[in-house]
Amino acid sequence: MTRPATHIWRLLKWGRTAARHGALRGIERDPNTPDPVRRLTRLARLGTFQPKTPDYAGAFRDIGPAAIKLGQSLATRPDLVGDEAAQNLLSLQDDLPPVAYEQIERAVSATFEQPLDSLFSAIDPVPVGAASIAQVHRAVTSDGRDVALKVLRPGIREKFARDIATYEWAAAHVEAMGGEAARLRPALTIANFKRWSNSELDLRREAASASELAEAMHGFEGFRVPAIDWDRTNGKVLTIEWIDGIKISKRDELIAAGHDPAELAQRLVLAFLTQAISGGFFHADMHQGNLFVQTDGTIVAIDFGIMGRIDRRARQWLAEILYGLTTGNYRRVAEIHFEAGYVPSHHDVGEFATALRAVGEPMRGKPVSELSVGQMLDGLFAITRDFDMQTQPHLLLLQKTMVMVEGIATQLNPQINMWDVSAPYVRSWIRDELGPEAAMADAVRENLSTLLRLPDLVRRVEDRFPAKGGAPEHAPLPEVELMWERRARAKSAGRNWPGYVLSAAIGAGAVAGALAFGWLG
């Protein structure tokens, strides 16, 4: 077990790095920042040069590989980090100087326990990409096939494990302060981040995810997943079909090659909806660098390290929420939130429906180019605060991917209306998948609504044992001994920590924890 002093030392280094990028300034200004955090933030930035404009992306990049991944995940959480920080973190590129080819060659040979020339006839020593976890080289197999060879950076698993242990420690202390931090559940956020990272660090899992998605999307024309070379894949090495094509971000090149950007945009949105709603298993890293368009117009996805999964019950609610928003049925959308346990039952369904209307109506019937995504998110997050909604971690990846897909679709076709594209698909899915069940539910809601009003006693039971809303059981949280608990234990054993040591320890954890989990902007 890592000693608190080690966590504190890491957090102090990261906090100083953040301060040099101006990334602690927003913590002092946020009214939700606990007083101890605000005081220690001021101490952390003493003696540092504060740039006029905070560079959150630069701070995470300089802290290290695990922080880069964490920063990217927080880029879609303006409720946690604030709009300014979220926008800045969107520019956080997951690229690092490549590892020397000699190290890669030794790593591949060692992991297969056989000479490289028995597996590959050629490997390009210059990587086509070098990210925080792995780097990719183009190669030719011994039987003549062009492939992409993805290799973990040496020692990266150990580095991630060390850093995530400190994230867990800091998150536990921040959440224990209560208030807004407790509602946003940073400890659970880090638990999910740890699970996703561990999956990315096992390339067999990535290969399996690609294979599963390929099967799920087999009947969807115009979207494809590259084939896995299982004989040349293990936990540290992934070998996958090489893809030649135009990056989906290069709109001018796509048009020059004869492709229709508007049709590509619509197909991409429908491909995502098919994955998320029909299959409940979706590519959760669909940024522009991971999507290519082949000569025949097929969209090909790569990089399956981050995948999302939601069960049928959650998909049903998601479909009804999307359909309710597209049709303006805010009452039904509000009811779903209460049925799923997202909103505590002491709130009023009608008031929540009105709040949703205030956010939804400005979006309906307009192209994305005329909408302010920032204003929309501000409204949604204000609702979550006003109605005591806790963060739903099982939907975070879905939200992140929806933002990515919307961004790419808008770049391809600035006039696309996401609601118009989504509504027919969602309506069809509800009809085909729910069928009589949905019709019966509608009839019960419309004609027997009084029977749906449960007695107050049952409502109180629901409050105590709320429905999970289709959410999987949350990731197990690590047992973290808080500093004040440690002090009490030491005191009972006859050892007494000086008060200033305890204050400094808690403050250091709180400052860096706040940086990572809640008060950036």
Question: Alpha carbon 513 to chain centroid distance?
Answer: 18
Q: Is 75 exposed, middle or buried (0-12, 13-18, 19+ CB in 10 A)?
A: buried
Which structure tokens are listed for 77?
A: 């959480």
DSSP string, 20-64: HTTTTHHHHH-TTS-HHHHHHHHHHTTT----SS--HHHHHHHH-
List of residues 6+ apart from 373 with CB closer than 8 A: 403
Distances in whole angstroms, Cα of residue 93 to Cα of each of 30, 127, 288: 27, 17, 12
Sign, CA dihedral 335-338-341-343, equals positive
> Which DSSP helix (H) or strand (E) runs through 247?
strand 246-247
- 503 and 348 Cβ atoms separated by less than 8 Å: no
Which structure tokens are listed for 123?
A: 């490997």
Burial call 337-350: b when 16+ CB within 10 Å, e when fewer: bbbbbbbebebeee
The CA radius of gyration of the chain, in Å to the nearest whole number, is: 25
Q: Which residues are catalytic?
A: 285
> CA-CA distance, 193 to 195, in Å (whole number)?
5
One-letter amino acid of 512: A
Q: Is 175 exposed, middle or buried (0-12, 13-18, 19+ CB in 10 A)?
A: buried
Give the residue among 449, 447, 430, 403 at the shortest CA–CA distance from 327: 430
DSSP string, 273-312: HIIIIIISEEES---GGGEEE-TTS-EEE---SSEEE--H
φ/ψ region of 420 (left if φ > 0, alpha if ψ in -120 to 50, else beta) reads alpha
Q: How many CB atoms lie within 10 A of CB 251?
A: 17
- 412 and 248 Cβ atoms separated by less than 8 Å: yes
Where are the alpha helices (H) located in 149-185, listed in sequence order?
A: 156-176, 180-184
> CA-CA distance, 464 to 134, in Å (whole number)?
45
